[in-house]
Structure 1
Amino acid sequence: MAAAAPLLASPAGAADAVAADGSEDQLFVVHDVSWEQYEAILAALGDRAGVRVTYCEGVLELMSPGGPHEGRKTILARLVEAYAEEAELPLSGYGSMTVRKRLAQRGVEPDECYVLGTVEDGEIPELAIEIIEKSGTINKLSVYAGLGVPEVWFLKKGKLSIHLLGPDGYAETERSRFLPGLDTAELTEFMVRKGDQTTVVRAWRAMLRNRGRR
């Protein structure tokens, strides 16, 4: 904790600091952070809810998501998980677990992440999801590529983009490799439906079940 406190308190180390109320994401960026300082900050934060940390080659971002961010994250996760249940897929979610590799000098805490089956300690998720309300200085795809995450979804301004990792980096695609039967256009449509989340998820399940009976 001692190593982390001066780094976070010093305005000279911050490239960008955005203050906001609970309706907006709050972003704090610090440069020239060593791997040891990054790990000290993770240890200092512990399981503190609402703070997500991204690290890439000396640049550290701390993000505290606002209400709209968390609402979009939650409805997307609920719809994906409902789809997996209806499709009888062995989907396991690991939320915002910390994924990091010292050799790659990268670490991230996605909004949501998943595997088919279960993940062992230190393993990489197969799918990571990021809700982008406020862009930082770190290129998240560069972080995920360095960590070897096969598939990344970004939801930004209501648009869902899917990125698949290949030999030359990520390529954007229309379909998920991780959930190939999922119609992402329909998924996005249900995400923006009016009403409470439970009602939207019930309608999503009903549509999936009716389609399965055809």
Structure 2
Amino acid sequence: MSSPVLEKPSTSETSYVLLYNVSWEQLEQLDVTLAGTSARLTYLDGILEIISPLSDDHEDYKKTLAMLLEVYMRAKNIRFYGRGSATIGKQEDKTRREPDESYNLGTKKSIPDLIVEITVTSGGINKLEIYQRLRVPEVWFWEDGLLSVYCLQGDSYIKVSKSTLLPDLNLDILAKCALMADQYDAVTEYSQIIAKE
């Protein structure tokens, strides 16, 4: 068994470390060792990304987007099950990831229908590759105030202008509300907008 190789040490500018040549067994050992810390692990084909700590901006946008999305789905009577950052992936697929937010629509399933990722630090492992292997139907990325939506079509993701799962959702209004300075005001304003639709 080879030893993991450190590619990029964490610095004040970055909040992640990449390790190469990490076996599944080593991943599981690190998972136990880092339990109770704020570290989040992402694994793909022997590459391990460790992110810690998550920034306040990351957590604020994650929670605000989740609240707005849930307001929308409740107002439109769309049955959903929030899965949060429940770990997905398996040894056979050589993948493991804790999404920022995730949802099942309609019924509970082992794999989320919709994943929301907040990108604050660039680089690292290609999350879409992980989600493609796991056949996640739709992935949203929030980066620099912009929301990008990717839908799984066949064996690859296509960037689209609107959600396939929630085709009536106006992503521009959702993003505008997510950028509001006050989370409470954002949810209140968005609720009022949705009520008028």
Could you tell me the TM-score, scaled by structure 2's length? 0.91
In the other structure, the counterpart of 1:61 is 49
Amino acid at match of 2:7: A
Post-superposition Cα deviations, 1:49-103, rounded to whole Å, max 9, x if no partner, equal 6322110000000112111111111111110011111111111111111001211
In the other structure, the counterpart of 2:40 is 52
Greater displacement, 33-42 / 199-208: 33-42
Q: Is the 8 A contact 1:73 1:112 kept in 2?
A: yes
Q: Is the 8 A contact 1:25 1:133 kept in 2?
A: no
In the other structure, the counterpart of 1:79 is 68
Q: Where in structure 2 are there 5+ consecutive unaligned residues?
A: none
Q: Is the 8 A contact 1:57 1:105 kept in 2?
A: yes
Write the mapping of 1:26-175 to structure 2, written as runs, cut at 5 A. Answer: 26-46=15-35, 48=36, 50-64=38-52, 65-120=54-109, 123-175=110-162
Q: Is the 8 A contact 2:132 2:155 kept in 1?
A: no
Post-superposition Cα deviations, 1:109-144, rounded to whole Å, max 9, x if no partner, equal 110000014435xx1111111111112331111111
Amino acid at match of 2:43: Y
Q: Is the 8 A contact 2:140 2:150 kept in 1?
A: yes
Secondary structure of 2:187 counterpart:
helix
Secondary structure of 2:188 counterpart:
helix
2: distance between equivalents of 1:118 and 1:45? 32
Q: Count residues in correspondence.
A: 194
In the other structure, the counterpart of 1:16 is 8
Post-superposition Cα deviations, 1:140-197, rounded to whole Å, max 9, x if no partner, equal 1111111111111111111110001111400000111222221101111111123x21
Secondary structure of 1:99 counterpart:
coil
2: distance between equivalents of 1:17 and 1:86? 45
Amino acid at match of 1:14: L
Could you tell me the TM-score, scaled by structure 1's length? 0.84
In the other structure, the counterpart of 1:208 is 194
